[in-house]
Copies of this chain bind each other. A is one copy, B any other.
């Protein structure tokens, strides 16, 4: 055997490995998405059905370069309402629970609250009076509990509360009451190059205090309602003071406004569960390319709650999935997700 043969074998191996090397590395490059870690099949908590199929078909269209509905990676924006869409909103929004408990915690510093509404009703746990709180009552409670401190002080208080508070029915931390199927949708979209945003009527900083840990959504991808902040230098350090004055309301028509303000792109997927989300879904549908508009219907009194068109609970301030919204969904072809029929499990802690 001549040396030239040996050389040939080695050369071939070099060529094959160089090819593998280029292949192995190049497969990592085209996707700007974080590489998905080893996980069970996507959307594992979804039953096979039209809702799951719609999500899969949407992602296929959005990521298929040969589809007329293809969406460039930089434009892959998905927006999620939070309360009632990503986690439980009954019997009260979690942030309202936080505000009420803060009134109790702060009461010793405000002896006058015992005789002053709306604080008096909160301190006396007067459910009937609290059920009748109007917007200005809530504004007063929010002002007293969410302002008058620096932003980082507020974040510390919120983080501490969320780490220990428990939901009255489930007796678990609120952050365990996230809907596992929706976490899977977020994961699935991110694995396909989407940026996932929370677009909530709730307080932006409150949601930021747990969004990264709970949903994998960083602070810069939380769009929400906010109060005015004021820049000040304290002890030689620049801080932001929270003022008892509303700056932006990210609900109803405010959602498209907030989406444009913070993101500057029209979403291709939007998820909600109430009339406060209608304009966000409309705005999403006004764009081009692949689209997915979804509404979560609370129709599972056993595992979670039933309200809205699914009846059940009395009318409360939360979860206003009106009949008009249901009609709108049908007219526009939005997907209505039945918690009862489309979700194998609702919470991660279920078997």
* Copies of the polypeptide in the assembly: 2
- The answer to whether A256 touches B279, judged by C-beta atoms less than 8 angstroms apart, is no
Partner of A28, one of B25, B208, B286: B25
A-B pairs, 10 with minimum CB distance: A219-B264, A238-B283, A17-B17, A231-B253, A237-B286, A238-B286, A6-B6, A238-B282, A231-B256, A21-B21
Report A1-52 residues with CB < 8 Å from chain B CB: 1, 3, 6, 9-10, 13-14, 17-18, 20-21, 24-25, 28-29, 32, 34-35
- Cross-chain contact of A262 among B262, B279, B283, B286 (Cβ < 8 A): B262
Whether the pair A283, B17 counts as a contact (CB closer than 8 A) is: no
Report B-chain residues with C-beta under 8 Å of the C-beta of A262: 220, 262
- 0/1 string, A195-215, CB within 8 A of B gives 1: 100000000110010001000
> Is A257 at the interface (CB under 8 A from chain B)?
yes
**Can you list 22 A-B pairs, Cβ within 8 angstroms, ordered by A?**
A1-B3, A1-B6, A6-B6, A13-B13, A17-B18, A17-B21, A20-B21, A28-B28, A29-B35, A151-B260, A205-B264, A208-B264, A218-B264, A219-B264, A220-B263, A222-B264, A226-B261, A231-B254, A233-B282, A238-B282, A238-B283, A238-B286
Interface residues of A (CB under 8 A from B): 1, 3, 6, 9-10, 13-14, 17-18, 20-21, 24-25, 28-29, 32, 34-35, 74, 151, 195, 204-205, 208, 212, 218-220, 222, 226, 229-231, 233, 237-240, 253-254, 256-257, 260-265, 279, 282-283, 285-286
Question: Using Cβ atoms and an 8 Å threshold, which residues of chain B touch A239?
Answer: 286
A222: chain B residues at CB < 8 Å are: 264
